[in-house]
Chain A
Amino acid sequence: MPEMQDVKKLVQEIVERATGREQIEVVASRAVETDIMVYEANVESLTRAESIGIGIRVINNGRMGFAHCGTSDYDSVIEALEAARDNSRFATEDQFAALVAPDGVDAATLDLIDPEFHKPTLEEKIALAMELEALITRGDPRVTKVESSNYSEAEAEGFVASSEGIFAHTRETFAYISGHAIAEQDGDTRTGGGYSVSRGLSGIDVNKAANDVVSRCTELLGAKKPASTRATVIFDPRITATLLSIVGGSLSADAAQKGRSMFSGRIGEQIASPAFQLVDDPTEPRAQGASLFDGEGLACRRNSLIENGVLMTFLYDSYTARKEGRASTASAVRGYSSTPSPGPMALQLAPGELDQEELIKLVQNGILIRSISGVHSGVNPISGDFSVGAEGIIIQDGERKHAFKEATIASTIQRMLMGVVAIGSDVEWLPGISAGPSIAIENMSLSGI
């Protein structure tokens, strides 16, 4: 595997090959990963790997071509450059197709690296996954099996450079443990998963992850299929995060400009309850999506999307911004194997005052959703139709009553945002692009018997 210095030189050399009015952009990303899976106090698998990828975008006279390769081998990279050049000959000429120039915004000061990332030994990492498994097993007599207990870590480094003067470098570290267990009681079987995530092993909270697994796989034992009804629904922070990711995707300027967003043409309108404040802020270090630069090499910045329920802006990359004669919001999202498109990186819903128990008391009668399924098959982010499998706990007279399973909850995203009646204080910083607290949404359809 090449040193990052050599990759940097290679990236710069490719960019310098631009001739005449040709524009060239190169992204490179490298990751060094370790994954440990433990099962029944034995290492089931240990994966150690380094990988590198290079993506090359070429724009000639408003025509864009792209190619990528999973190696930094010189001949392969040159082959990719020539493939991108050839591809550009076949694209439709587009007056807005161009690479972005530096916009003078400085990158935030963000600490995305655990300085002690390399300190723990392989044995310590294995021991942590084993400890998680043991804690889950001992956590409750109803836990019958720990299906998986994993430790993963990665150190990722990347460059974006272009013939227009862009040069951005990022480096991040991640560590993550996750467990999944099965619990049984009186012939009923339930499962649950939990995790802890940090920039390095030292920041991981194994007890929190274990407690999460144990409570999630045991609390719904004895769940029954509920009767169909309409109800006020409380989302756990994990479910709120899923909802935010769907909403954030619809706030892409690309979707809005092409008429593929339920929020097209609605800037300045009330699209959510007045309590709803949504930002996309990759400069927030607690967010897992925190980043110094976007996919085009502009410094990430805080973008306020919804204020008091009013839609303030969409998220722009340089292409969608150019179409409207405005500036990019530095929201270009991509991997090395794809071209940039605008989207959220670190969505956060501003918390309210009440914790989850107080929300339950406030709601009096309704349901608490602990997990959902079928998001990719049951949520249409263009029409807004929303229908997902759900399990959780029925709330009666402000108290948790009994567990339910095998039900769906349904509405439309548009109605759900307007129907947010309370926002909790319990923000959870989760893996992924979104973080939020518990929220209560009125008048959703619960389908069961």
Chain B
Amino acid sequence: MSSQLIERNVIDRAISEAMAQGADFAEVFAEDSRSSVASLDDSIVDELSAGHSRGVGIRIVYGETTGFAHTSDLSEKSILEAVRAARAVRNVGESKVIDQVGTSPKGIEPRDVKIDKQRQVELLRRLDAVARDQGDQIAQVVAGIGQSQRRILVANSNGLFVSDEQFRSRISVSAVAKGDTGLQTGYHTAALTLTLDELMDRVNIEDVAIEAALLALLKLDAKPAPSGALPVVIKGGSGGILFHEACGHGLEADHIVKGASVYANRLGEKVASDLVTLVDDGTVGSEWGTYRYDDEGNPAQTNVLIQDGVLVDYMWDRNRSVKENHEVSGNGRRQSYKHLPMVRMTNTFMLAGADQPEDIIADTPNGIYVAKLSGGQVNTTTGDFVFGTSEAYLIENGRITAPLRDTNLIGNGPEILSLIDAVGNDFSMTPGTCGKAGQSVPVGCGQATLRVSSMTVGGTADA
């Protein structure tokens, strides 16, 4: 295969054809993605799987109307059929001459990266053995190792022509421990925007297995979480999900433009405690939400959303930035060529503060300490959101005490952001998968240890 997924002259003809009935914007998005996953379950390497998909999505915009079609056939004939299917949204229209600005392709040559399957298998066995070594009560281990390689090409009627290649790799372990009180689970993952070899060089692989197994064992002694409003201290790292749900989604311009966000029409207003500076940044190292170009061909960038508690900007894609006459922000993403791009987060994090994490805990007479979160969900219109714990403890008299069973916490975004009353000087990021309108994309979340002075904990024990 040539270094470009589709010949430049085919793309030019497709865009001309797409613009022929008076469109305002046309885009060709081509993608070739390969995945390789190996998994171990019940101490058996039960599956090695390889996936390959490629295709092209054609987007044509007439004012506020978007036509979209995609095909897995990269021939010119099939691409032009997709153009006609996408144009079906506009039955009539005058043809106009388009002024295409020719630019040379920006991007990189594809890399030929082979997966060492034998190394994958050996690593799975080691993860299994290390996890089981953590205690006799480890009853089951599932481990997975995978890499995806995604080449994209984006060209549009504004003359943009960009190609890119993205590698993402992940190692994950989930462990089940069996005790007198039933079954408990622990999960840990290491995931970076790198090749699998690079990831394995970068992280201590055995730590993934140890973390998962120790968490499952710890929870065998867990007590039911309390029920009711309490101070909540969230450890640096996966607590970034709090911001992803409490305000991240609500700052996506598609929700803003439709008035479906509690943060609409609030630029310049105080929306959080003074301690909160929130950033969405697709350029951070090799974090899980990092990329060079978004799926509309715009470079990833650093976007400050909340500065010292004041709302300063939203996140943008092409359609919303045109409608509101705003710059794009590199947040136009799509799951694959079969999906329309929309506004999505990249790596979303709150900047660290000044307090020692241990002082924040010592300064909390009673509450809960959340060390690991499992995910969350938000209604952007009302701001109500939940997030779940997978490792949490009681705080009694300023000290971390008994581990707690998994529970959800619930709050309202703007209220919770105003109740953040301590922020630590530590910081870390964790990988996650964000779902929105049926599309999943990889994201990073990060924060320092922080305290919310009161939040509803959804357990079953009296608070």
Contact = CB atoms under 8 A, between A and B. Distances in A.
B155 interface: no
B88 A46 contact: yes
A177 B445 CA distance: 34
Contacts of B419: none
A259 B386 contact: no
Contacts of B139: 259
Contact of B338 (A49, A71, A83): A49
A387 interface: yes
Contacts of B373: 377
B463 interface: yes
B460 A410 contact: yes
Interface string A374-398: 1011101011110111010000000
A337 B34 CA distance: 12
Contact of B386 (A47, A385, A408): A408
A406 B412 contact: yes
Give the dominant DSSP class at B's interface: strand
Contact of B408 (A65, A228, A408): A408
A69 B53 contact: yes
A200 B225 CA distance: 47
Interface stretch (A73-81, A160-168, A361-369): A73-81
Interface string A245-258: 00000000000001
Contacts of B382: 189-191, 405
Contacts of A65: 47-49
Contacts of A409: 458
B45 interface: yes
Contacts of A389: 377, 384-386, 408, 410, 458
Contact of B69 (A49, A378, A406): A49
B377 A373 contact: yes
A408 B458 contact: yes
Interface string B430-453: 000000000000000000000000
Contact of A87 (B50, B176, B228): B50
Contacts of B408: 374, 377-378, 387-389, 408, 410
Contacts of A147: 258, 260, 381
Contacts of A84: 50
B72 A51 contact: yes
Given A92-B45, A147-B260, A377 B117 contact: no
B411 interface: yes
B65 A80 contact: no
B52 A76 contact: yes
A290 to B, nearest CB: 22
A48 interface: yes
B458 A145 contact: no
Contacts of A68: 49-52
A308 B327 CA distance: 62
Contacts of B385: 373, 389
A447 B457 contact: yes
Interface stretch (A12-20, A37-45, A419-427): A37-45
Given A71-B73, A339-B47, A48 B85 contact: yes
A66 B47 CA distance: 7
Contact of B388 (A46, A66, A387, A407): A387
Contacts of B459: 387, 410, 445, 447
A383 B183 contact: yes
B45 A378 contact: no
Interface string B208-239: 00000000000100000101110000000000
Interface stretch (B36-44, B292-300, B349-357, B421-429): B36-44
Interface size class of B (residues with CB under 8 A): 35 or more
Contact of B178 (A42, A49, A259, A380): A259
B143 interface: no
A385 B66 CA distance: 44
Nearest to B42: A258
Contact of A46 (B68, B457, B460): B68
Contacts of B38: 90
A113 interface: no
Contact of A378 (B51, B86, B386, B411): B386
A259 B73 contact: no
Contact of A385 (B65, B176, B259, B405): B405
A195 to B, nearest CB: 14
B379 interface: yes
B406 interface: yes
Interface string B59-93: 00000111111111100001000000110110000
Interface size class of A (residues with CB under 8 A): 35 or more
Given A51-B70, A377-B376, A377-B386, A122 B88 contact: yes
B458 A447 contact: yes
Interface string A160-185: 00000000000000000000001000
Contacts of A53: 53
A327 interface: no
A435 interface: no
B411 A406 contact: yes
A84 B36 CA distance: 11
Contacts of A190: 382
Contacts of A92: 44-46
B374 interface: yes
Given A73-B73, A374-B376, A228 B50 contact: no
Interface string A82-122: 01101110111010000000000000000000000000001
A87 B49 contact: yes
B140 interface: yes
B25 to A, nearest CB: 13
B187 to A, nearest CB: 10
A345 interface: no
A182 B176 contact: no
A383 B224 CA distance: 12
Nearest to A83: B50
Contacts of A182: 259-260, 381
Contacts of B54: 70-71
A28 B49 CA distance: 16
B157 interface: no
B21 interface: no
Given A383-B183, A406-B411, 19 more contacts: A42-B65, A43-B89, A51-B338, A53-B53, A67-B49, A71-B54, A71-B72, A86-B117, A90-B120, A258-B42, A377-B388, A378-B408, A380-B406, A383-B184, A384-B182, A389-B385, A408-B409, A446-B227, A448-B228
Interface of B: 38, 41-42, 44-55, 64-73, 78, 85-86, 88-89, 117-118, 120-121, 139-140, 176, 178, 182-185, 219, 225, 227-229, 258-260, 262, 338, 340, 373-377, 379, 381-382, 384-388, 405-412, 456-460, 463
27 contacts: A45-B89, A48-B86, A48-B88, A49-B85, A70-B72, A87-B50, A90-B120, A147-B258, A147-B381, A182-B259, A182-B381, A228-B228, A258-B140, A374-B377, A378-B388, A378-B407, A380-B185, A382-B184, A385-B407, A388-B458, A407-B456, A408-B409, A408-B456, A410-B458, A445-B460, A447-B457, A449-B229
